[in-house]
Structures are given as C-alpha cells and as structure tokens.
Structure 1
Amino acid sequence: MANGGGSNLIQLLDKFDTEEILNCMQCGFCLPSCPTYRQTGKESASPRGRIALMKGVAEGSLLADAEFEANMYLCLGCRACETACPAGVPYGSLIETAREVAEQAKQEDSPLRDFLFHEVFPHPNRLELLGAGLWAAQVSGLQTLADKTGLMRILPRPMREMQSAVDTVASPWARMQRESVMEAVGEQTGPTVGLFTGCIMDVMFFETNQATARVLTKAGCEVVFVSGQSCCGALHAHAGEKTGAVELAKRNIEAFEQAGVDLIVNNAGGCGAALKEYHHWFHDDPAWQERAQQFVAKVRDISELLAELPPLVFAKELHAKVTYQDSCHLAHGQGVRSQPRQLLKSIPGAEYVEMRGADQCCGSAGIYNITNLDMSMEILDDKMKNVGRTEAHYVVTSNPGCLLQMKKGIERAGQQGQMKAVHIMDLLADLV
C-alpha cells in the first residue's frame, strides 16, 4: 500500500479531525445500534472499533491499507451510533474522512468507479439517457426476456438480485411534459418551494417527485422545478470522493440562489441529510460556507414542511394497516421522526402500527446493497421479521433506497400480495 512520500502522508493524515476522534470514549453504547456489529460481533465492525482504527491511521501506527479500507466500507453509514453516542461524536463525518483517506492512499485507479462518479452522477442529462434506456428495456420486454432466458446472468450478482425490485420507470415523454412551475391548488397560502429532485431519485422515481409536487400544491404551495440543480453529492461523500461532493454542492447552491425560492424541499432522507450538512463541507472556505449556511437554512424534508402547514384535506379513506420504516439519514442524520408518523396517522380510516426497530437500518444504505450484497441481505432479512410482525398492508418509507430494499424484502419474505412497500408521498398523493 502506498501512502506516498513523507509530505503526502502528512497531508493525507491531516484530513482526520483528531479532536473528534479523541472525543470517542470507547464506552460501547454504540455497539447495540450498529447493524454490522450485530451481524458479525466483531469489534472492527463496530463504530467504536472503526474509530480506533482511524486513530491508529491518524497517528501513523497503522496503515491506510486494504484491510483498513474494507473495515471502513463495511459500515453502512446509517449513523444510528450518533443517536446512541453520549459524547455526540460526529461519526458520519469521520467515516467519510476515513474513506477519503483510504481512496487517496490507493495506488491503483478504478476506471468504472471514476466513470460513475465523474462522468455519470454529476450529469443529469446523462442520467436521463440511462433512464430512457432502462424504460425501453422494460416496456419492450427485453428485461423480462433476459430474466427468463438467463441472459441476466451477465450482470454482476448484486445487480441481478436488485433489478427485480425496480418498477417501470417514467417514459421520456412523461419527463418532457413536466411543468417548470406548478401553482398552488386554490389560493397560495404556503411558501414557494424549490423541489430538490435528486439524481437517481428523478430517474427511477420520477413519479414520486411528481406526486410530491402535487401534494405540495394541494397544501397551498407553489412548486418550482429548479433548473441547473444536480446530484446532492451524498454518494460522492460516502465513497470518499469529497472533492466531487463539494463541486456538486456549489452547483446546487448557485442554482437555488438564482431561483429565489422560499424553501428547498426534498423527499429523500439521504439527500436531505447531505443538503443540510453543506455548510460543514466548506469549513475551510468562508465565502462558500456563508452561502451554504443560507442554503441549509431553507432545506426541509417534505414531512417537516407538511407538519408546519395546515393539515392536509383528504379526498379518500384508506382502510388498511400502515407501518413506517425510518430512513436512517432522516431519523439519525436529520432527527426527523415524528412528522412522517403524524402524516400517516392523519389518514382517514388507516390503522397505524408502529414497527419494532423501525429506525434500524434496512441494509440499503445508498449503494450498499450493490457493494456489500450478502451483508445487506442479512440485515434486510432481520428487518423483515419485524415488518412481518406488524401485519401491515403498507410498509411506508421516505427514501428511495429504503423503498427498493423493502420491495426486495417483501419478495424475499414471500409476502407479495399481502403487503406493499410505498413511498409516503405516493401514498398521500393518491388520497388527497
């Protein structure tokens, strides 16, 4: 493993916030909350253990080698340990730094990784082309044919496993019909909001973004689909690509500044957590940090905003049992827990059932179910035991990754036809 020359090594290790590392008291309160520790029982698979490894690398007593990298990437980044930590250690930022150090310490490049992070995710038009290709494969029957004939085996196993959870995406024509501004239904009594559409969210869950906008207009808001916005940068930050994450943050800050909206609303827990932390990404750039702080002050999860507005008026009732699966980054990263539950409990006719361990990670964690499929499925199977105990008809989520994972979990548990996974905005849009 190559950390480079002496000066490069010092520069690399300076990225660690040693003060925050030392704030970890090694008390172990985080252990029961950690999905990978619960599955493996290994200290190195716990937040406390990973922080100890970071300390060793920061002090120079350990190398940022392949073993260090593997331990850092086994973490789901769910941040449940932050909720459990009595010392308030910001584990999320520490794990991002550790992955950045691991990536920069490598000698070899990964062409596929570079292509995805530099040539795909930062470019909405390219993502739209990929979405159009996926739509064509789905509606032409090519995806089904490949599945039945075994051609799907040419894909890596994680992608083969997860493709069954993907619904038909929106057509290029549906995307072209999107209005740039959606006016409030009736009198505008709420703020003018800019909807953060995301990257993967707007490709695979275009209709959920549209549903979110419709709910907002019925709540008295004007909704603007802000041009020039891009990926939030969370995928980059979580994968040690901090430079790329910062560049995406700058693009989003500029786009929403120019739009002049009152609030910036999102419907994906992972994106929202990143958007609310932009000001931390510019700690060494005062000018951008001030702009980021102004941006962050406007960011709301959709359930946060709806909780602040007058209650929704429902046109339909839902005579079914409903349970809620917390998005880790919404619950642990943003502290938003009660608002989605309040929305679900307000649905006429619905019976809300609280799930045991609702805020325990489902194993999705961004692209974790692609990069660590086996561990992801172990965590998911445990989660589905708690889901099954609710006997709910609807498992409601507030994050696209959770939604796909819950759909896969229902399939693995053989519960198709008995329960359905749905994004909270899709559910509400059908009822208001």
Structure 2
Amino acid sequence: MEFLTECNKCGKCKETCPGYQAFLKESFSPRGRLRLAKALQEKEILYDESLKKRFFSCLLCGSCETSCPLNINITSILYRARTESKKTLLQYLFKYFSLYPHIFFSILSILNRFDKFMSIINLPYFNRISSLEIKPQSNSLQVHSKVKPAGRIAIFLGCTSKYLIPSITEALIYILNWLNYEVIVPKQHCCGAPLLSAGFEKEAKNLAIKNLEVYKSFNIDGILTPCPTCAHFIGDVYKELIGEKLKVLKLADLFREKDREISGQYKGNAFFHISCHTSNYVKDSDDILSLLQKFGYNAQKKTGCCGFGGLFSFLFEKQSMDILRKKVLEYEKADMIISSCPNCIIQFKLAMKNKKIVHYAEAIEKILKGAKNGRAF
C-alpha cells in the first residue's frame, strides 16, 4: 500500500468536510484519516474495526481536495485503504449491486411488497430505499433518431436514474432530440462507484473496462450523464484505474453550441441544490445555473452535502440523517428544489415527501414542452 502523502497538517480540509462536522473528532477528519493511513503503512497500528470505521466514514465528496492547498488526492488514498479492509456482508451487497443492478432492483421491487420480511432486515436506510417506487427498465439498446442529426450522443444513465427516477432519462432524451442530436442508450452497467467505495478495486477496474468496450463500440460525439458521480467516475476515476476514460459532455455546452433560444418563466421560489460531486469534481454548477436562468428559473444557488454519500448512508445512518436535517430546514421555504444529482434527489425525497424535487434536466424539459404547447410553466 502506498499511502504516504505530503500533508502539512494545515487543517483547511476540516472546514469543509461534512464527515468531520458530523463526528467532530480529529480521526474522522481528512487530515486525521491521512495520518492514520500513514501510520498503517508504517505498521504503527493494525487494521482493526475502529480504523475501518474512520476510513469508511468519509463521504468521498471531494470537498477536502478542493480546499487542500497541496492538491492531495485524498479520496484515492482512502479507496486504497478500503481495499485492504476485511469485507462484511454489506460490502458484498454493494459489490453485487454494482455487478448486477438489474437483478438487484428487480429482487428489491418484489421484496418491498412483503412488509414483514423487510422489517426483519436490520438495515433501516435500505428499508427506506425499498419503500420508493422501483421501476425496472429494459436493458436493451435504445436509439432515438433524427432525420438529419447534428451529431450522435450516448447517455450513461446511472443506476438511480435508470431504476428509481426514469423521468430524468426521458427528459435528457427529449432535450437532446430538441437540440437535434441522435440519442443512443446502450446496455447499461453501473459506473463502479459503489464497488470502489466498498473496497473492491479489482472488480471496479473490470467494470470500467467493460463500460469502455460498450461505449467505444459506437460512433458517438461523447457521453452525457445526469449523474455527477458517474461523470466523475467514467472520466477522472477511470483514468486513474485503467489509464483510459470516456469523453463526458456537459448539457450547458451543447446549448451554447446550438444557440437555440427559448422563453419561459417559473414564478415559484426555486432552490438549486449543487451536489458535492458537481461542485468538487465536475465543476459545472455555474453553467447549469446560467442555463436554468435562461429557461426562466430565478433559482437561489445552494451548496452543502445532503448526507447521502452512497455507502455512508448505510454504515452511518444517524450521521447521514443529521446532515440531511440541516438541509431540510434550509430548504423549508422552497417551492421547488432543483438538483444536479439523482442521488441527492432520492435523499431529499426520503425526508421531504410533499416537496417538488426535480433534476435540472426535468426542469428544462418542462419549459420546452410548455413552450411547444403554448403554455406557461
């Protein structure tokens, strides 16, 4: 294991770390975890359950890397540290979820019909996810053609969009067709983020290679994904894992290239929730906000973690809910919450069932369809 870093212990990472703010202990801060990783490498300490808890309590949000003056790739160090852990049942569940998401969600959609059985499973957050409407989708190739397309774009759905919020996919396809692009939705695999976060690096590499083979087999201009975690993975993380990545496009750039104007107006109080991966890795929040404003959404820009963090929500449910409650209070006055991340949307839907919460692609689609039908939104 190569964990040694040039951390100068300045502590700037602690100011923005949602994990540290939830636990308020030095060993749960990015700086503390780096020190523990170094001590582990130098055999000053053993890899026990207490140490594992520190490594897995990171939400992998990237805020520490954004604030680090030395640009230390802290999440990569923690990925490697997690790979060395003794695997638990929950970690293996994440492994098979990543490898076989279609089977996983199909089984979950059956099990959630049996309340007594689900109550036996001692995974509260898992039970809440299962209470959502699961919509198993076809995994076959889809092509949405145009007569004289300006180009061809493939969509990488992400598991949340594919199985829990398919309306995001429908919105993206509608928008891309409106921009005169032919749209391809290949057979979908997980991006591999749950695999790597659970400590299965080898399996994550294999999945990355499989995704590369699928998307490189098409003659496309690039890939669009509604999930910033997927965008970060199939771009940045794939490059680290296997030395090659997929070309990820941004919706705002496509609108700029086409320069198609549309008028619309949303008169309610909208908040634009910027996800951690959008803010810290993809870095297109300002472009998305400008696009929303162009389509009539005078949305207030909001940052800060929702508390999801993938595996974090299952391992540290109390802390996940504590982080979420702060955002719920902050968003009380919003008529609509627009997010850049499907996983944030799911997290908010669990806590704010009566609030309108949509992906920015869905918000734009509403305006486009309203304009087409001569209606105001």
**TM-score, normalised with respect to structure 1:** 0.78
Task: Give the corresponding residue for 1:6.
Answer: none
Task: Give the corresponding residue for 2:312.
Answer: 368
Task: Give the corresponding residue for 1:225.
Answer: 185
Task: State yes or no: 1:271 paired with 2:237.
Answer: no
Query: Kindly tell me: are residues 179 and 131 of structure 1, through their superposed partners in 2, closer, same or farther at Cα, counting changes over 3 Å?
Result: farther
Task: State yes or no: 1:180 paired with 2:116.
Answer: no
Task: Give the corresponding residue for 1:170.
Answer: 135
Counterpart code for 1:129: S
Q: SS at the partner of 2:158?
A: coil
Counterpart code for 1:343: L
Task: Give the corresponding residue for 2:110.
Answer: 133
Equivalent in 282, 298, 311 of residue 334 of structure 1: 282
Task: Give the corresponding residue for 1:117.
Answer: 95
Distance 1:116 1:370 in 2: 10
Task: Give the corresponding residue for 1:213.
Answer: 173
Equivalent in 195, 206, 212 of residue 155 of structure 2: 195
Distance 1:430 1:331 in 2: 25
Counterpart code for 1:180: Q
> What per-residue deviation string (whole Å, max 9, x for no partner) do you get for residues 278-314 of structure 1?
11112xxxxxx2xx14x3xx1124x354454334554
Equivalent in 154, 167, 189 of residue 120 of structure 2: 154
Task: Give the corresponding residue for 2:374.
Answer: none
**1:93 positional shift:** 0.8
Counterpart code for 2:125: P
Task: Give the corresponding residue for 2:347.
Answer: 405
Contact kept, 8 Å, 2:101 with 2:159, in 1: the verdict is: yes
Task: Give the corresponding residue for 1:11.
Answer: none
Counterpart code for 1:211: A
Equivalent in 319, 333, 351 of residue 298 of structure 2: 351
Matched length: 366
**1:16 positional shift:** 2.1
Task: Give the corresponding residue for 1:7.
Answer: none
Tell me, which stretches of 5 or more residues in structure 1 are unaligned? Answer: 1-14, 283-288
**1:245 positional shift:** 0.5
Instruction: Identify the range of structure 1 (199-208 vs 311-320) with the bigger mean alpha-carbon deviation.
Output: 311-320
Task: State yes or no: 1:319 paired with 2:279.
Answer: no
Distance 1:376 1:112 in 2: 17
Instruction: Identify the range of structure 1 (391-400 vs 68-77) with the bigger mean alpha-carbon deviation.
Output: 391-400
Distance 1:91 1:308 in 2: 34
Distance 1:241 1:123 in 2: 15
**1:371 positional shift:** 2.3
Equivalent in 333, 336, 341 of residue 394 of structure 1: 336
Task: State yes or no: 1:248 paired with 2:214.
Answer: no
**1:52 positional shift:** 0.6
Counterpart code for 1:354: K
Query: Kindly tell me: are residues 308 and 347 of structure 1, through their superposed partners in 2, closer, same or farther at Cα, counting changes over 3 Å?
Result: closer
**1:111 positional shift:** 4.7
Equivalent in 27, 46, 52 of residue 10 of structure 2: 27
Counterpart code for 2:271: T
Distance 1:340 1:198 in 2: 19
Distance 2:206 2:220 in 1: 22
Contact kept, 8 Å, 2:172 with 2:361, in 1: the verdict is: yes
Tell me, which stretches of 5 or more residues in structure 2 are unaligned? Answer: 369-377
Contact kept, 8 Å, 1:170 with 1:207, in 2: the verdict is: no
The alignment's C-alpha RMSD in Å is 2.5
Identical-residue share of aligned pairs (%): 24
Q: SS at the partner of 1:192?
A: strand
Counterpart code for 1:157: P
> What per-residue deviation string (whole Å, max 9, x for no partner) do you get for residues 138-164 of structure 1?
xxxx47xx4xxx775334322334445
Equivalent in 24, 47, 62 of residue 30 of structure 2: 47
Contact kept, 8 Å, 2:198 with 2:311, in 1: the verdict is: no
Task: Give the corresponding residue for 2:372.
Answer: none
Contact kept, 8 Å, 1:36 with 1:45, in 2: the verdict is: yes
Instruction: Identify the range of structure 1 (78-87 vs 152-161) with the bigger mean alpha-carbon deviation.
Output: 152-161
Does 1 or 2 have the higher relative contact order (CA < 8 Å, sep 6+)? 2
Counterpart code for 1:182: H
> What per-residue deviation string (whole Å, max 9, x for no partner) do you get for residues 339-377 of structure 1?
2211211123x322223xx1x211011232222110000
**1:133 positional shift:** 3.4
